[in-house]
Amino acid sequence: MTRHLLRDDDLSPAEQAEVLDLAVRVKADRWAARPLEGPQTVAVIFDKSSTRTRVSFAVGIADLGGSPLIISTANSQLGGKETPSDTARVLERMVAAIVWRTYAQSGLQEMAAGTTVPVVNALSDDFHPCQLLADLLTIREHKGDLAGLTVAFVGDGSDNMVHSYLLACTTAGMHVRIGFPAAYPPMPDVVEDARRIGEGTGGSVLLTQDPAEAVRGADVVVTDTWVSMGREDEKAVRVEALSPYQVTPALMAEAAEDALFLHCLPADRGYEVAPGVIDGPQSVIWDEAENRLHAQKALLIWLLERADGAAA
Ligand code: CP
Ligand code: NVA
């Protein structure tokens, strides 16, 4: 049956490891896999802005022998004029997969329920699972085995990256700590899902309002913008609540001596992270950005092998 990646726990622990192993191979031999030879087309739809996601999918689909069709919702019938499920029924007649950056998670669910081709969440208000595959690949490259490592996210606890960190890292058997102000907590059902996943993998979840407690001894420190797309009107109030949660050199010093710093980008230096951290020696943000390409190629290969009608 066709598989989709709508949220991080759509991949089981074994499947996540399989995709990451494949990403390592794809990165080592960039032109070897050509599942989209033809070329077959993949639709990549954007309701929100993007640099990395747009470029990494366009380049990755071309690397796989395919043709990327980049669609802006503003110039399409999606977004109020046509339902996600009707759109999906049309696209599946012509494309091999659908990649969609949107607002509501429910739109992605409707899109996936309405089609026989794989649907990939390229960021929603709730999750950013493609970014997490790239982040896990980056951590693995620098730290080896993921299981047992501790990752600390400090900042906006209601961020899509937090929800993806909770699910993807517990799936990988990691310990996830989130340091956030009480006004911006993660979604309780996602925290509960992450804790349940951790029970099976040896991972765990710690929520705290104390940034130093979150970071102490951590192997990886992560943050993200305080003002996610769609929340621009809340900037002033968010900056006030989140200022004590900036990742500074002093906070970074609480982490393990060889801790990595990650940020999905785009970054607001001087807000969620000090320039000395994001541009400092522990930062691996450029590897992280490049790994979007390799991780997403692996994901597409994996999904295309499992799509209805794929050769057994
Ligand atoms: N990290 C990320 O998804 O970046 P873009 O918004 O540029 O795609
Ligand atoms: N949390 C950010 C991530 C951007 C890649 C946003 O949703 O705007």
| Amino acid (one-letter) located at 134 | A
Q: Nearest CA to 100 among 116, 119, 87, 113?
A: 119
pLDDT at residue 75, rounded to an integer: 86
Confidence (pLDDT) at 312: 53
Q: What is the pLDDT of residues 46-86, one digit of tens each?
A: 999 999 999 999 999 999 999 999 999 988 999 888 999 99
User: Bridge partners of 283?
Assistant: 261
Q: Cα 113 from chain centroid?
A: 21
Residue nearest to atom 1 of ligand 2 (CA): 228
How many whole angstroms separate alpha carbon 214 and alpha carbon 114?
A: 41
Residue of 4, 112, 50, 67 whose CA lies nearest to 292: 50
- Ligand 1 centroid to Cα of residue 49, in Å, is 8
- Name the stretches of the chain with pLDDT < 70: 311-312
Our mutation pick for probing the ligand 1 site, out of 125, 229, 264, counting the most ligand atoms within 8 A of Cβ, is 264
Predicted pLDDT at 311 = 61
Task: For the full predicted model, state whether its pTM sits above 0.75.
Answer: yes
What distance in angstroms lies between residue 63's CA and the mean position of ligand 1's atoms? 20
Q: Which two tokens stand for residue 308?
A: 């209805």
The residue nearest atom 8 of ligand 2, judged by CA position, is 228
Gap from CA of 3 to ligand 1 centroid (Å): 23
Mutation choice for ligand 2 from 52, 54, 227, 264, CB with most ligand atoms inside 8 A: 264
